[in-house]
Amino acid sequence: MVVTIASAPSAALLETRDLSVGYPRGPVLLSKLYFTLRAGEVVSILGRNGVGKSTLLRTLTGHLPARGGHVHLGRDDLRHLKPAEIAKRIAVVPQFHSAVFAFTVADLVLMGRTARIGTFRQPGKADERKAMAMLERVGLAHIADRPVPQSSGGQRQMALIARALLQEPTVLALDEPTSHLDMANQVQVLDLLADLSSSGLAILMTSHFPEHALGLGGRALMLGGPNGLHLGDAADVVTEEALEAAYGVSVELVRSPRGRVACIPVHASDDSRA
Amino acid sequence: MPAFAVSRGKPGSGGLSLALLAVLVASVSIGLFAGRFDLPPQEVLAICFHALTGSLTETKGVTPTPAETVVMVVRLPRVMAGLGVGAGLALAGACYQGIFRNPLVSPFILGVSGGAGFGAATAILFLGGDAFMIQICAFAGGTTAVTLCHLLARSAGNGSPLLLILSGIVVGAVFTALLSLLKYGADPEDKLPLIEFWLMGSLAGVHMSDVRLLFCLLVPAGVILMLLRWRITVLTLGDEEARSLGVNVPVLRGTVLVLATLMAAASVSVAGVIGWVGLVIPHLARILVGPDFRRLVPVSLVLGGSYLVLADTVARTLTSAEIPLGIVTSLIGAPIFALLIRKGGRGWS
């Protein structure tokens, strides 16, 4: 009920060609990036702080101009698309939401309809119905009228995802969606993302948790290793060696009895304890 | 849809419209019925009715009765101008606060009032001081100041809201200094009081022709802002989020700033510098209906217009001499603002 994918499953929704990213007048953080995102795919972007994860995400979503190369949305060059055209295809869940004015959760979610209504029009009953249905779906209907600043971090994250889904996008881009959440909320967000990708939505997210990339499956893009960047199946990319190279710390990958992989960094003091 | 319609504890759109209409009718009635010249309400209504049907004594070639003069030349133009100026300043203030994402911003932050004051003083000193000329020069001065402010912000960087406010402080300071220079050189017996009174703000000399001119500017700008009110709501989230939701941020912000500035400049050029309306009324509206511009715009318009009509009624009836309107709005507005601060900033986090 959430997402309808217009294009054929095999068509590229998002494609980069020889892409370089970086802030204007700053250093180029990444270059020569070629990758393609198709319907239902998950790509997790990993790497240490400052390596360019968010910068890459902002470039792919049209918030930053590419320093070189191209980003294509379907057949269109991202540079030539208006914000409303981009918003109908890519929805962004920001890392922080910092509204000055205290909107209700329902109003915040309703803002996802903006790109779908005309510039001089206001959201109508149909839009409000969609917003309420989405609130039901993500389990926030009971706090629809609560001011956003009075909601918990987990509720806020689910509200921002609900808002993004109301844009009816083909690609969902999330900037560290699990970073500020407790374990239960992390599981809730990851399960929702898995559910959305199986219904055809393409998902692009940055993360500080390599195990989340492994848990979601799909592909991983590891930034800042010895080869600059490494893109491949999450299980092939997220290895102890690659993590050590990218993060500069030894890491143990430990498989739980139920098959989930945990990622445990090794401290200098650990050897003396062993 | 229960959550959207009911449980926020605010009147639904029907109830809200009725409440706004009641406030409007009450303030206009008080403005028309109250005055130093004793006139029963039914006679005021009869004169208004005659004016609508074109059957005033004046139109029959006879000298108008004193009652007709009081209603048609004093009360009605002042009530209309009060509605326009108050609504214009309040909506301009709400838009500025939304765009700058700052509830403490007033429509004068980009130098409209300083520029308009300089323009009015120029007209009084050098261009004969005709009322129409003062209006034109005040409007030109106000819009020039804001334009300079934009050019300065753009040349200093990307024209971000923070740079705009800093530029506004600079431009406002320059125009205030120029105004002081004009006042310093003005004839203290004759011209200086005229400048001072203009700066204090008043609707005393307003004619029906001024009102028509004012509404020619206010109505189109207000209608466009009314249509854009959902986009403005989204814009208050900040540039990055608004853009990712599909808003063309530079275009929308530029449009809203131009329209809000035109409304503020038009209001100031008719009434002088009327403080506090553009700051207090949007606050009050936000406390009543929340930060969503879908409700904030109509509520600001009605409360701003009604507030200024009532303040102007006080200004012309409290004592036998007229009290400058700007003084009344500040004397009432500042304590209201203090109360709002004490209640805490509901509607903003």
> What secondary structure does DSSP assign to B183-210, as a single string?
HHHS-TTTHHHHHHHHHH---TT--HHH
What ipTM score was computed for the predicted complex, to two decimals?
A: 0.92
| pLDDT-above-70 percentage for chain B | 93
> Shortest Cα distance from A211 to chain B (angstroms)?
28
Residue A143, both tokens: 């706090």
Interface of chain B toward chain A, CB-CB under 8 angstroms:
1, 3-4, 7-8, 98, 101-103, 227-231, 233-234, 236-238, 240-241, 243-249, 286, 290-292, 294, 346-349
Q: Using the beta-carbon criterion (under 8 Å), do A92 and B234 form an inter-chain contact?
A: no
Tell me the pLDDT tens digit for each residue of B258-311. Answer: 999 999 999 999 999 998 899 999 999 998 899 999 999 999 999 999 999 999
Closest partner CB to A144 (pick from B3, B103, B349): B3
Question: Which pLDDT band holds residue A226 (cuts at 50, 70, 90)?
Answer: low
The residue of chain B nearest to residue A90, with distances taken between CA atoms, is: B244
Paired residues of A68 in beta bridges: A20
Q: Using the beta-carbon criterion (under 8 Å), do A88 and B249 form an inter-chain contact?
A: no
Residue at token pair 């409440």 = B19
| Cβ atoms within 10 Å, residue A18 | 12
Contacts B349 to A, Cβ<8 Å: 99-102, 147-149
- CA gap B270, B272 in Å, rounded: 6
DSSP H helices in A21-171: 53-60, 83-89, 105-110, 125-137, 153-166
Question: Which pLDDT band holds residue B213 (cuts at 50, 70, 90)?
Answer: very high
**Residue type, position B269, single letter:** S
Higher pLDDT, B7 or A171: A171
Tell me the pLDDT tens digit for each residue of A213-223. Answer: 999 999 999 99
- CA gap B49, B43 in Å, rounded: 10
| pLDDT value of position A166 | 97
Whole-number Cα distances in Å, B307 to A183, B71, B88: 52, 20, 12
Tell me the pLDDT tens digit for each residue of B121-163. Answer: 999 999 988 888 999 999 999 999 999 999 999 888 776 788 8
Q: Using the beta-carbon criterion (under 8 Å), do B248 and A83 form an inter-chain contact?
A: yes
Q: Using the beta-carbon criterion (under 8 Å), do B246 and A83 form an inter-chain contact?
A: yes
Question: What predicted TM-score, i.e. pTM, was given to this entire model?
Answer: 0.91
Examine the pLDDT at B212 and tell me if it is beyond 60: yes
- CA gap A162, A239 in Å, rounded: 33
Q: What is the mean pLDDT of residues B21-50?
A: 92
Consecutive H or E run containing B337: helix B325-343
Q: Using the beta-carbon criterion (under 8 Å), do A117 and B230 form an inter-chain contact?
A: yes
Q: State the number of CA atoms in the 13 A half-sphere of B240 facing the CB.
A: 15
What's phi and psi for B54, nearest 5 deg?
A: 70, 30
Paired residues of A95 in beta bridges: none
Higher pLDDT, B30 or B61: B30
Q: Using the beta-carbon criterion (under 8 Å), do B349 and A100 form an inter-chain contact?
A: yes
Closest partner CB to A101 (pick from B231, B236, B244): B236
Sheet of strand A42-46: strand arrangement: A90-93, A171-175, A202-206, A42-46, A219-225, A228-233
Examine the pLDDT at B202 and tell me if it is beyond 50: yes
**Residue type, position A42, single letter:** V
Question: Which pLDDT band holds residue B8 (cuts at 50, 70, 90)?
Answer: very low
> Shortest Cα distance from B82 to chain A (angstroms)?
28
Contacts B13 to A, Cβ<8 Å: none
Tell me the pLDDT tens digit for each residue of A42-72. Answer: 999 999 998 999 999 999 999 999 999 999 9
> Shortest Cα distance from A36 to chain B (angstroms)?
21
| Backbone angle region of A145, left / alpha / beta, with phi > 0 → left and psi within -120 to 50 → alpha | alpha
What's phi and psi for B322, nearest 5 deg?
A: -70, 135
Q: Using the beta-carbon criterion (under 8 Å), do B246 and A94 form an inter-chain contact?
A: no
Contacts A167 to B, Cβ<8 Å: 245-246
Q: Using the beta-carbon criterion (under 8 Å), do B245 and A99 form an inter-chain contact?
A: no
Catalogue the E-assigned strands of chain B: none
DSSP for residue A63: S
| Cβ atoms within 10 Å, residue B243 | 23
Q: Which of A8-22, B13-27, B187-201, B317-331 has the lowest mean pLDDT?
A: A8-22
Consecutive H or E run containing B217: helix B208-227
Q: Using the beta-carbon criterion (under 8 Å), do A114 and B247 form an inter-chain contact?
A: yes
Return the SS3 of A221.
strand
Question: Which pLDDT band holds residue B51 (cuts at 50, 70, 90)?
Answer: confident
Contacts B247 to A, Cβ<8 Å: 83-84, 114
| pLDDT-above-90 percentage for chain B | 66
The residue of chain A nearest to residue B246, with distances taken between CA atoms, is: A84
Q: Using the beta-carbon criterion (under 8 Å), do A102 and B291 form an inter-chain contact?
A: yes
Q: Using the beta-carbon criterion (under 8 Å), do B245 and A115 form an inter-chain contact?
A: yes
Residue at token pair 């989230």 = B237
Closest partner CB to B230 (pick from A63, A87, A123): A123
DSSP for residue A202: E
Examine the pLDDT at A199 and tell me if it is beyond 60: yes
Contacts B228 to A, Cβ<8 Å: 119-120
| pLDDT value of position A274 | 55
Paired residues of A20 in beta bridges: A68
| pLDDT value of position B345 | 55
**Residue type, position A34, single letter:** Y
Examine the pLDDT at A117 and tell me if it is beyond 60: yes
Question: Which pLDDT band holds residue B12 (cuts at 50, 70, 90)?
Answer: low
